[in-house]
Amino acid sequence: MTTAKEHLGHQVAHAYDEDGAVPLAGYAALMTTFAAATGALVALGRRRGAVLPERVPPWDVALIGVATFKTARLLTKGKITGFLRAPFARRERDASAGEVMDEPRGSGLRLAVGDLVTCPFCVSAWTTTGLLGAYVLAPRGTRLVGAGFGAMALADWLQYAWTWTQETVEN
């Protein structure tokens, strides 16, 4: 027997997606978690007396942007981080440069988390928030971590350039 709330939820999901396969309740739970984590980060900053910067220099924006890119790729596409995605996703195939393509699995909240942990664009919102919170609480340390992930991203591009150069010379 379904409750009125479950019936209404099914109607909303069906109106949004004819198959009713989009895990809207799971997405809402994830967004609630994101909002709560962001609120906790703000509360921690206030408790520690952190002061928001008056402005963020463009190079810090670029550094956080590159670090966000790399952390999101690492979390969602890295072979080594597959154990984090395994409860929510299934390996579809290996991709280039040590990355993998995973497919979300399950239904409800499990599928919603699978959608999140296999999407670098989706994870970017979470990693950016974490990096910005860290930037407010410990800017020097965050710049160092950002520089590390930035160096990894640069190394990735250099690997691609090297491979392209080798293939060009050999052909």
**CA 136-142-147 angle, 5° bins:** 145
Residues in the chain: 171
Give the model's pLDDT for residue 94: 85
As a whole number, mean pLDDT of residues 57-81 equals 95
Residue 73 confidence (pLDDT) above 70: yes
- Residue 74 CA to residue 71 CA, distance in Å, equals 5
- Burial of 128: CB neighbours in 10 Å, binned 0-12, 13-18, 19+: middle
Which backbone phi and psi does 65 adopt, to 5 degrees? Answer: -65, -45
The pLDDT, as a whole number, for residue 5 is 55
**Token pair of 127, please?**
């990693």
